[in-house]
Amino acid sequence: MSIMRGALVLDCSGLEQGNEGEAACATSAPAHPIFMLPGIAGSGLMVSAKNASLPLCSSSPVSFPVPFRVWASLSLVRPPRSHQLCWMDIMQPVADEKGEIYASKEGVNVEVDSYGTAHGFDYLDYFYNERFGVPGTAYFHMMLRTFYWMGYQEGTSLIGIPYDWRLPPWQMDFGRLKSEIESRVGAMGGAKADVLVHSLGSVVFNYFLHKVVDQQWKDKYINSYTLVAPATGGSFKAIKALLTGYNDPVDLTFWTLLDISLIPVDILRDLSRSLGSIYALLPDIDLYGQDHLVVRQLQPKKSGSFSPAFSAFMSGGSDGKAQMHMEANGRNLEFRRLADATPPAEWGAQTAKWAAQGNGRTEGDGRLPKTQQSREELVQEISAQVDQRTQQVRHYAAEAQERMAGIKHLLAEEAEDLEEVVYTLGNWTALLPPELRLRAETAKQHMQGILKDPGVPTRCIWSVFGFPSTDVGYIYTGADLSRKPVPVLDVGDDTVPLRSLSVCAGWASTFEVKTFKNLDHMFIFGDVITRAFPAELSADSTGTRRTDDFVLEMFLV
């Protein structure tokens, strides 16, 4: 099921000309429907409960019949710790012994936000009766605005496929997806579907193409398949999520949408371990090889502690220091500011301001509100976020390089007193509790074969930073895996290594590959659109290039 929050339909007949109205109405109707699948944690989740046992929330059975947003909701994840534990209790699915089937806890009903529309991934948090996106939590927002300007209608020619990203791909509602594609293609006179996916969305849709539908169906219904920052071959940060948790502002970028410094590492680790999707995101052993070095553990040879020098080094890289840096220099999202400075009673006035700037949608008449904020200002805002993010990634890489140099120095100085235990992709799961080891093995079996050519016209889009920025292994000092490790870095987009991003480039069905430099994994949509968004883009009558032309070239056949 899904909970509808007022599907947006762009009606050119009554829309005021100028700004979005002029751009959208000047564009002919789309030739193909487009389906969009977001990445992990990229779909809003709503929850209700009836007599649910949630001991971290209450000692008594819990009921809340009116659904509310559980992801992403600032009010549920900010301190005190008791609130955060309750949130985790609600969010955590439970699994059977082998990790085949994941489900919400008994009495808890989690549903995706607005299946079939883009509301669930336009923004990841909303307020004022779900009508206005919280600034700073925009996900597909820039991309969607452009498609609306091009004449796409949400729910008709633009279909959002949010999904319960807590679950593994083999539990997705593919029957519903298949039916939705068939229905939309039929409604548009047989015009085949364009499919656009991001990150985990590539893993989910690859699974669908390989294990749910046959080639005859693909030939009939799929016009093109565009993968943006695909996580097809997995991410090593999924390994860190299971072993340690998230304790850096660049860890699996989506967590920074909730300003990770708000949530203790142990809570994030326990939540991550419960998610079936995390196991599906583990690095593919067929891609990297079972001998790829994943974990190095440095331990004293003799029973006891490290030398004073090594202990000092470990303390210098502690979670406390990382946390302080994160608080000072992390991505300071707007809703963190809202939580600290804007009382709920004042949100109404703030909402009116955002609505006037065009950052919300009107539900009364179902049309896009007129944008008062100029495109130039929007470009400046997004560019500032891009620059801030790049600086953050640079700091992460520099810190990793510094800590790696420190480890090499200490190893040279104290080689006789230290021993090193290594784990590869073939055996690293030995570090997990037995039940989690079974889940990882189950996921490996289910996900076999998804790296193969999907058999549909494919376009690959990704970006990499111009310096090693992406985890491909970890060094732990001591046996305590809850301590912050030193990441071993390689080229990538700060979340997915290049080898995983570029799997699609080797498919025979791939007709185009587009690559960029220094665009972040999570915000590549906004980054790409912004860089093609100078003020002259709207003035095609003078011969300059339109934004919709750029998007057609970028994402559509």
Query: Residue by residue, what is the 3-state secondary structure of 301-314?
Result: CCCCCCCHHHHHHH
Average pLDDT over residues 159-185: 97
Contact 536, 375 (CB under 8 A): no
Please tell me the distance from the alpha carbon of residue 132 to that of residue 431, in angstroms, as a whole number: 44
Residue 94 has pLDDT above 80, yes or no: yes
3-class secondary-structure state, position 195: strand
Can you tell me which residue has the tokens 């709503």? 46
Please write the tens of the pLDDT for every residue from 513-534: 999 988 888 778 766 655 544 3
**What residues does each domain of the chain span?**
2-555
Residue 318 in tokens: 């502690």
DSSP string of 450-486, one letter each residue: TTS--SS-EEEEEEE-SS--EEEEEEEESS-TTSPPE
Average pLDDT over residues 41-61: 95
Residue 166 has pLDDT above 80, yes or no: yes
Residue 176 has pLDDT above 70, yes or no: yes
Q: Domain 2-555 is of which CATH architecture?
A: 3-Layer(aba) Sandwich (3.40)
Cβ-based neighbours of 468, under 8 Å, separated by 6 or more: 397, 489, 490, 491
Peptide bond into 485 cis (omega under 30): no
pLDDT range class, residue 246, cuts 50, 70, 90: low
Strand partners, 476: 297
Residue 316: the pLDDT is: 59
3-class secondary-structure state, position 524: helix
3-class secondary-structure state, position 227: strand
Peptide bond into 397 cis (omega under 30): no
Strand partners, 224: 194
User: Distance of CA 32 to CAs 152, 153, 221, Å?
Assistant: 10, 12, 10
Please write the tens of the pLDDT for every residue from 413-455: 877 888 889 999 999 999 999 999 999 999 999 999 999 999 9
Contact 171, 102 (CB under 8 A): yes
Which one is predicted more confidently, 76 or 238? 238
Contact 139, 121 (CB under 8 A): yes
Which one is predicted more confidently, 359 or 130? 130
Please tell me the distance from the alpha carbon of residue 420 to that of residue 411, in angstroms, as a whole number: 10
User: Distance of CA 459 to CAs 49, 156, 507, 521, 554, Å?
Assistant: 42, 23, 10, 17, 9
- Specify the pairing of strand 94-95 against strand 102-103: antiparallel
Average pLDDT, the chain: 79
Q: What is the dihedral of CA 162, 165, 168, 173, to 10 degrees?
A: -30
Please write the tens of the pLDDT for every residue from 340-390: 333 333 333 333 343 334 333 433 334 344 444 445 665 666 677 777 778
Laid out side by side, the sheet with 108-113 consists of: 2-3, 108-113, 45-52, 62-71
Residue 555: the pLDDT is: 61
Q: Which of 143-152, 525-534, 544-553 has the highest mean pLDDT?
A: 143-152
Residue 49: the pLDDT is: 96
Please tell me the distance from the alpha carbon of residue 22 to that of residue 20, in angstroms, as a whole number: 6
Q: Give just the sign of the alpha carbon dihedral 451, 455, 456, 460.
A: positive
Laid out side by side, the sheet with 470-477 consists of: 418-424, 293-300, 470-477, 486-490
- Residue among 254, 328, 244 nearest 44 (CA): 254
Question: Does the predicted model carry a pTM greater than 0.85?
Answer: no
Residue 551 has pLDDT above 60, yes or no: no
Residue 3: the pLDDT is: 37
Can you tell me which residue has the tokens 């659109």? 529
pLDDT range class, residue 261, cuts 50, 70, 90: low
Contact 290, 425 (CB under 8 A): yes
Average pLDDT over residues 453-462: 97
3-class secondary-structure state, position 89: helix
- Length reported for the chain: 557
Please write the tens of the pLDDT for every residue from 262-320: 677 788 889 999 999 999 999 999 999 999 999 999 888 876 677 777 777 666 544 43
Please tell me the distance from the alpha carbon of residue 533 to that of residue 536, in angstroms, as a whole number: 8
Which one is predicted more confidently, 388 or 225? 225
Contact 492, 230 (CB under 8 A): no
- Residue among 244, 249, 248 nearest 267 (CA): 244
Characterize 174-213 residue by residue with b for buried, 16 or more Cβ atoms within 10 angstroms of its Cβ, and e for exposed: beebeebbeebbeebeebbbbbbbbbbbbbbbbbbbbebb
Residue 37 has pLDDT above 50, yes or no: yes
Residue 145: the pLDDT is: 85
Ranking 11-20, 284-293, 456-465 by mean pLDDT, the lowest is: 11-20
Residue 20: the pLDDT is: 39
Residue 366: the pLDDT is: 40
Instruction: Please report how the helices 524-531 and 375-413 are oriented relative to each other, as an axis angle in degrees rounded to 10.
Output: 130
* Percentage of residues in the chain having pLDDT higher than 70: 73
- Residue among 296, 312, 298 nearest 412 (CA): 298
Residue 536: the pLDDT is: 30
Residue 134: the pLDDT is: 81
- Residue among 247, 250, 271 nearest 261 (CA): 247
Residue 68 — φ and ψ, nearest 5°? Answer: -140, 165
Residue 284: the pLDDT is: 97
Residue 417: the pLDDT is: 80
